[in-house]
Chains A and B, each alone.
Chain A
Amino acid sequence: MINGELALYTLLLCFFFAAAVLFIMDLLGSGKELFMMARRLLFLGFSALTILMVARAISYGYFPIFTFYETLLFLAWAMTFVILLLERSYGFRTVFPFAVPALFAVLFLAVFITAERASLPPEYKSIWLFFHIVTVIAAYSTFTVAFVTSLMYLSVDNQLKKKKLSSLVSRLPSLDILDYYNYKLVSIGFFLLTISVFLGAIWAQNVWGAFWRWEPKEIWSLVTWIVYATYLHTRLSGWQGRRVAMLNACGFATVLFNYFAVRFLFAGGLHQF
């Protein structure tokens, strides 16, 4: 842990928490000022997070994505980036009250994980490995936001079916638009995941002399890849709506399992994180 990291970390947790609360209040009630304030807080949190990561990078001499703690930070950073981008380019504001609490949860989880620096053997200082990790975390963050849009889709769908539209749902975008975001995000995530798998294979070939070694992380990544491939296949063959949203939820479940559970269940693997 670097100097002042705890203070900065606490501060950014506060920013994200306050932003999450205000976004939810804005969704339930109304008032433009609330939203603006929440977005400002989110931006402050994002800036603090960026500073924290840069500070770690400078004092440790490596880009901070090599410990579980660091990947969580980067995951949160990438997610924030994605939702801010969505709002900026598409005006997709209602994603915030759903995604920011998830963001806070990710950051809060990192509290319980050691923030020590990674001890990197020389072979880890490879550009292939670096991009392998960056792309996979970027893919996970896109999948997380995609999952959030699926949840939104399913809740609107559910209320339309039950014919009781709460004022909360009436503020959400239409099914068509949610479906569109969902599709775009999954496409991007899938692209990143595919690249990541290739980069990892190339690095493994360089270091260990084998592209693919059937270790737990690799197998589960393959499962994730297959589920999302099925999603895209279904989608591209014309299917849309509820079924696709459910498939996306399954895909996200494998991501969660892969990211959190595999590490603890099969601790002996080559993947440290």
Chain B
Amino acid sequence: MTEIMILGINHKTAPVELREKLSFSESQLTRSLAFCKASCEISEAVILTTCNRTEIYVAGAGLELLQQSIMQLLAEIKEIDTAALRPNLYIHTREKAVEHLFTVTAGLDSMILGETQILGQVKDAYAKGNEAETVGAVFHALFRQAVTAAKRVQTETGINQNAASVSYAAVELAKKIFGRLDNRTVLVLGAGKMSELTLRHLYDQGVKEVIVVNRTKERADKLAHSYGGVAEYYENRRECLFKADIVISSTGAPHFILEREEMTAVMRTRRGKPIFLIDIAVPRDIDPRVNELDNVYLYDIDDLQAVVAANLKDRECEAVKARLIIKEDISHFHTWLKTQEVTPLIAALRHKAETIRQSELDVSLKKLANLNDKEKKHVENLTRAIVNRILKEPVLRIKEFALEDRSEVFVTSLCQLFDLTEELNGHLAPSREDERVGAVAEGGRQ
């Protein structure tokens, strides 16, 4: 019986210093997969390594042996003392391991709930395993199902629909006001670090023009230059306000630099053209009463953080839906896996029946030499039909029992009743074992 195990470390269990130690470089990954391929205990392996997690997924015959092999791998390739890492590691087996992979792939285990980058990383890890030939039937099915589930989560829930960071929230709000941003002008008041981050997000959306205003013109020039914009003198900021659609303000001024009265005048000149003010300065740059004016949308840092917090809360609600979706897909996989366990048995049974049918048919046809081709065909079909009808019910039962984890009884009793040991161990037994031996032998030779 194939066992599945995952051993890993992530942002929840370990600080970045530890995660770094366990992170795999490209060459280490290749070597590790080669190690798994050569190992007798590990039949299938995929290694997922990102900045937030390192996870080793393996399948094999026994859990104990699997764990030992992984530890051996870590000791050999990462040259670390695995015992010291033990408190930060998590190990999941069987159903838990499967569930873990599905949860991770759908972004439900991520630092930012529901992020989608992880899906690409899982796909990558699977592809690397495929390349290194450490992925077999079980992991093919497992990873494909996990990817399917993650895609369903993305399309069927709104988990990744809203912004999860302050600067993204600002971009989302700008889009809600202006629709497309590609014909808009951004004014930056005060060339700070935070304003640059927000500016970069807006710039990525393709804003038309960037104007930077700063007390010291040099810094304004520098920032404007890197975004293809223009720098303006601080004294001219009012004219800039006539033109701008989005204003990012983060000056170090101890008082408001934009009062309600001034903004009223500005809006009159703008004829009510909507303006989005992002005040990320502390203390604030813009009089909060400005928000009372028509077509002025003022968000300070707290407002933006509140939007993000609300979004994250929404994501948590969506995560509940996502878990239900995942559950369905997990059970699809388990159904597949369990029927997989009895596949050799069913094949053996069919093979046995087919052999008997063939030999008996041969004997009979020899005796019935005067039959024409059509009649021979009839007889052959008859034998086939009988065999199929007889096997139909038992095969269904075997599959049903497999789903209820009671296939053991069947395997032993059917083996004895039909004397299937030969079929099961002979040419129908998984030939992987032989391959392994060959591979190890080859490895030894090298």
Residues of A with Cβ closer than 8 Å to B? 30, 156, 160-161, 163-165, 167, 170, 173-177, 237-244
14 additional contacts (CB under 8 A) given A163-B306, A164-B310, A242-B295: A30-B156, A163-B299, A163-B307, A165-B310, A170-B161, A170-B176, A174-B178, A174-B179, A175-B176, A175-B179, A240-B271, A240-B274, A241-B273, A243-B272
Is B273 a contact of A160 with CB atoms below 8 Å?
A: no
- Complex Cα distance, B273 from A122, in Å, reads 53
Give the residue among B274, B291, B297, B299 with the most A Cβ atoms within 10 A.
B274
Q: Known contacts A161-B291, A163-B306; is A239 also within 8 Å of B173 by CB?
A: no
19 CB < 8 A contacts A-B: A30-B156, A30-B158, A160-B177, A165-B307, A165-B310, A167-B158, A170-B161, A174-B175, A175-B176, A176-B274, A177-B179, A237-B271, A239-B272, A240-B272, A240-B295, A241-B272, A241-B273, A241-B274, A241-B294
How many of B's residues come within 8 Å of A, CB to CB? 25
Is A174 a contact of B177 with CB atoms below 8 Å?
A: yes
Residues in A with CB closer than 8 Å to B179 are: 173-177
Measured between C-beta atoms, what is the minimum distance from A154 to chain B in Å?
11
Contact partner, A160, options B158, B162, B297, B314, Cβ 8 Å: B297
Residues in B with CB closer than 8 Å to A165 are: 176, 307, 310
- Complex Cα distance, B291 from A243, in Å, reads 15
The chain A residue with its CB closest to the CB of B299 is A163
Residues in B with CB closer than 8 Å to A176 are: 177-180, 274
Measured between C-beta atoms, what is the minimum distance from A200 to chain B in Å?
35
Is A160 a contact of B176 with CB atoms below 8 Å?
A: yes
**Does B380 reach chain A (CB closer than 8 Å)?**
no
- Complex Cα distance, B180 from A177, in Å, reads 9
Measured between C-beta atoms, what is the minimum distance from A184 to chain B in Å?
14
In B149-205, which residues have CB < 8 Å from any A CB?
156, 158, 161-162, 173, 175-180
- Complex Cα distance, B307 from A174, in Å, reads 17
> Across the A-B interface, how many residue pairs have beta carbons closer than 8 Å?
61
**Does B109 reach chain A (CB closer than 8 Å)?**
no
Contact partner, A241, options B156, B161, B295, Cβ 8 Å: B295
For the complex of A and B, list the 9 residue pairs with the smallest distance between their C-beta atoms, beginning with the closest. A241-B295, A174-B179, A176-B179, A238-B271, A242-B294, A241-B272, A239-B271, A177-B179, A163-B303
Residues in A with CB closer than 8 Å to B180 are: 176
- Complex Cα distance, B277 from A160, in Å, reads 12
Measured between C-beta atoms, what is the minimum distance from B16 to chain A in Å?
34
- Complex Cα distance, B179 from A241, in Å, reads 14
- Complex Cα distance, B163 from A170, in Å, reads 12
- Complex Cα distance, B158 from A30, in Å, reads 9
- Complex Cα distance, B177 from A79, in Å, reads 27
Give the residue among B158, B162, B173, B294 with the most A Cβ atoms within 10 A.
B294
Residues in B with CB closer than 8 Å to A174 are: 175-179
Residues in B with CB closer than 8 Å to A240 are: 271-274, 295
Residues in B with CB closer than 8 Å to A167 are: 158, 314
Residues in B with CB closer than 8 Å to A170 are: 161-162, 176
Residues in B with CB closer than 8 Å to A243 are: 272, 294-295
Residues of B with Cβ closer than 8 Å to A? 156, 158, 161-162, 173, 175-180, 271-274, 291, 294-295, 297, 299, 303, 306-307, 310, 314
- Complex Cα distance, B398 from A251, in Å, reads 74
Measured between C-beta atoms, what is the minimum distance from B382 to chain A in Å?
48
Is B173 a contact of A242 with CB atoms below 8 Å?
A: no
Measured between C-beta atoms, what is the minimum distance from B335 to chain A in Å?
26
Is B271 a contact of A160 with CB atoms below 8 Å?
A: no
- Complex Cα distance, B50 from A183, in Å, reads 50
Residues in A with CB closer than 8 Å to B173 are: 160
Measured between C-beta atoms, what is the minimum distance from A4 to chain B in Å?
43
Is B177 a contact of A175 with CB atoms below 8 Å?
A: yes
Residues in A with CB closer than 8 Å to B271 are: 237-240
- Complex Cα distance, B294 from A161, in Å, reads 9
Measured between C-beta atoms, what is the minimum distance from B164 to chain A in Å?
14
Residues in A with CB closer than 8 Å to B307 are: 163, 165
Give the residue among A161, A176, A244 with the most B Cβ atoms within 10 A.
A176
- Complex Cα distance, B179 from A167, in Å, reads 17
- Complex Cα distance, B61 from A272, in Å, reads 89
- Complex Cα distance, B267 from A241, in Å, reads 11
The chain B residue with its CB closest to the CB of A166 is B310
- Complex Cα distance, B272 from A237, in Å, reads 11
- Complex Cα distance, B314 from A238, in Å, reads 38
- Complex Cα distance, B296 from A240, in Å, reads 12
- Complex Cα distance, B205 from A174, in Å, reads 15
Residues in A with CB closer than 8 Å to B178 are: 174-176
- Complex Cα distance, B295 from A240, in Å, reads 8
Is A161 a contact of B273 with CB atoms below 8 Å?
A: no
The chain A residue with its CB closest to the CB of B321 is A30
- Complex Cα distance, B179 from A177, in Å, reads 7
Residues in B with CB closer than 8 Å to A237 are: 271
Measured between C-beta atoms, what is the minimum distance from A36 to chain B in Å?
15
Measured between C-beta atoms, what is the minimum distance from B305 to chain A in Å?
11
- Complex Cα distance, B269 from A239, in Å, reads 10
The chain B residue with its CB closest to the CB of A32 is B155
Contact partner, B272, options A30, A164, A177, A242, Cβ 8 Å: A242
- Complex Cα distance, B156 from A241, in Å, reads 34
Measured between C-beta atoms, what is the minimum distance from B232 to chain A in Å?
23
Measured between C-beta atoms, what is the minimum distance from B310 to chain A in Å?
7
Residues in B with CB closer than 8 Å to A164 are: 310
Residues in A with CB closer than 8 Å to B294 are: 241-243
Residues in A with CB closer than 8 Å to B274 are: 175-176, 240-241
- Complex Cα distance, B307 from A241, in Å, reads 23
Measured between C-beta atoms, what is the minimum distance from B66 to chain A in Å?
41
The chain A residue with its CB closest to the CB of B275 is A241
- Complex Cα distance, B274 from A240, in Å, reads 8
- Complex Cα distance, B297 from A164, in Å, reads 12
Measured between C-beta atoms, what is the minimum distance from A161 to chain B in Å?
7
Measured between C-beta atoms, what is the minimum distance from A167 to chain B in Å?
7
Measured between C-beta atoms, what is the minimum distance from B154 to chain A in Å?
12
- Complex Cα distance, B297 from A176, in Å, reads 13
The chain A residue with its CB closest to the CB of B303 is A163
Is A161 a contact of B297 with CB atoms below 8 Å?
A: yes
- Complex Cα distance, B306 from A257, in Å, reads 43
Residues in B with CB closer than 8 Å to A177 are: 179
Measured between C-beta atoms, what is the minimum distance from B170 to chain A in Å?
12
Give the residue among B176, B180, B297 with the most A Cβ atoms within 10 A.
B176
